């Protein structure tokens, strides 16, 4: 599951790589908002084309990008069917194209922004909230742990499925879910224990 793109920073010299993480995150938010507020099928397709162009600009691998989008397949199918049934094809294309555009743009953000830059941006952005009790460093740490945990959880799911398939139990929900939950909880416990040992967590 190393092809999963969340947190998979790809160094480069493009303008997107040089934009600081804070402004880049703001641009991502504006882009996402525009996909929702601008009506119509053709603008949504334009946003999708723009997101794909950005992905090509930062040289995101096509195969890995497609694999990262694969979990959205069921959501896309259900959303398309529902929108076609309720409002017709133009609205369905607007919704699905907008969703894909936002997801691809988010992948471009993670591919062109290092984890350290993201954490620094979060810490700076939350700085003014210290006076009301917010600890920016702890929030940044939680964000970092979440980003780094996603590939690990996906790897656990992949290994659990492979083990169940080897025993002929790939269609048995208990054989899939029970080992996965136990290993995921154990991983979380080990992470918490390591943080406690270093005096980082209470």
Q: Are residues 95 and 65 in the same domain?
A: yes
Calpha distance 94→22 (Å, rounded):
28
The pLDDT value recorded for residue 113 is 86
Q: Are residues 48 and 91 in the same domain?
A: yes
Q: Are residues 79 and 142 in the same domain?
A: no
Calpha distance 72→84 (Å, rounded):
18
pTM above 0.85, yes or no: no
Q: Are residues 180 and 97 in the same domain?
A: no
Judge whether 1 lies within some domain.
no
Q: Are residues 24 and 103 in the same domain?
A: yes
Q: Are residues 95 and 156 in the same domain?
A: no
Q: Are residues 85 and 37 in the same domain?
A: yes
Calpha distance 146→140 (Å, rounded):
10
pLDDT at 169 over 90: no
123 or 72, which is more confident: 123
Q: Are residues 167 and 95 in the same domain?
A: no
Number of domain units in the chain:
2
Q: Which of 18-27, 39-48, 126-135 has the highest mean pLDDT?
A: 39-48
Compute the C-alpha angle 6/68/34, nearest 5°: 75
46-81 per-residue burial string, b: 16 or more CB within 10 A, e: under 16:
ebbebbbebbeebebeeebbeebeeeeeeeeeeeee
């Amino acid at each position: 599951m190393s092809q999963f793109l969340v947190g998979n920073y790809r160094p480069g010299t493009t303008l997107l790589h040089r934009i600081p993480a804070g402004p880049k995150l703001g641009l991502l938010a504006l882009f996402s908002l525009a996909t929702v507020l601008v009506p119509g099928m053709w603008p949504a397709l334009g946003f999708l084309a723009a997101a794909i162009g950005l992905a090509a600009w930062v040289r995101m691998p096509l195969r890995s990008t497609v694999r990262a989008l694969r979990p959205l397949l069921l959501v896309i199918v259900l959303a398309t069917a529902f929108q076609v049934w309720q409002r017709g094809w133009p609205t369905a294309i607007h919704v699905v194209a907008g969703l894909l555009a936002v997801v691809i743009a988010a992948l471009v953000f993670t591919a062109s922004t290092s984890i350290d830059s993201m954490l620094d941006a979060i810490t700076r952005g939350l700085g003014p909230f210290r006076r009301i009790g917010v600890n920016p460093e702890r929030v940044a740490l939680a964000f970092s742990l979440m980003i780094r945990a996603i590939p690990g959880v996906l790897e656990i799911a992949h290994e659990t499925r492979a083990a169940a398939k080897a025993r002929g139990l790939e269609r048995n929900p208990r054989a899939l879910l029970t080992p996965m939950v136990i290993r995921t909880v154990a991983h979380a416990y080990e992470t918490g224990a390591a943080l406690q040992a270093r005096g980082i967590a209470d």
